Amino acid sequence: MLRYHTPLDAPTLRSLGIPEPWTFGLADRVRFGEIDALGHVNNTAYLRWFESFRLPYLKARKVTDYGPNSPRLVLKRTSCDYLAEMFSGMDYIVTGRTRAMRTTSFTMEFAVWLPTEQGPAKQTAAGEAIIVLLDRDGPGRYAIPQEGRTAFTKEDGAISEV
């Protein structure tokens, strides 16, 4: 049984057919409002799913607590490759990881999966995003907190491009 909107760890992802290197995921179900005129998931829904994933992921990775002293997180660029159609009512899991980081920015990868309890999950989309951290009260950049850098490296296998 899937737990919606609750972080899924690596062992849970493996049990649902999602391969390494993914270690963090969120499950949900396709909603009626995400369906387009052709009857499948609208392309913009995937980008919203990636955004919804980033919020708990970045908190878990200790990049932000979304408090008044936290950095501003700015989406510099995002992309999505659509690999298979999805339809109303389907259960899915969004996974994400940080692939690389610089001093004040990092690159994330995303995937959308149709989970199974036997055999490999089917990947329906792949995405990427570059996130920049900015000072809360000004235009300057904000360094990724050391706890976040450590989590990106340890949990995601991120490389430093500094």
Give the model's pLDDT for residue 162.
84
Number of structural domains found in the chain: 1
Give the model's pLDDT for residue 150.
98
Residue range 25-29: average pLDDT? 98
pLDDT digits (tens, 9 = 90+) for 116-135: 888 899 999 999 999 999 99
> CA angle at residue 52 from 73 to 94, to 5 degrees?
120
- pTM equals 0.95
Residue 91 near residue 27, CB atoms below 8 Å: yes
Residue 49 has pLDDT above 90, yes or no: yes
Residue 37: inside a domain: yes
Residue 103 near residue 143, CB atoms below 8 Å: yes
Range of the domain at 134: 8-160
Residue 2: inside a domain: no
Q: Percentage of the chain surpassing pLDDT 70?
A: 100
Cα dihedral 120, 124, 126, 132, rounded to 10, equals -110
**Residue 158: Cβ within 10 Å count:** 21
- Report d(CA 20, CA 101) in Å as an integer: 20
Which 8-state DSSP code applies to residue 23?
Answer: -
CATH of the domain at 66: 3.10.129.10
Instruction: Name the band, by pLDDT with cuts 50, 70 and 90, for residue 36.
Output: very high
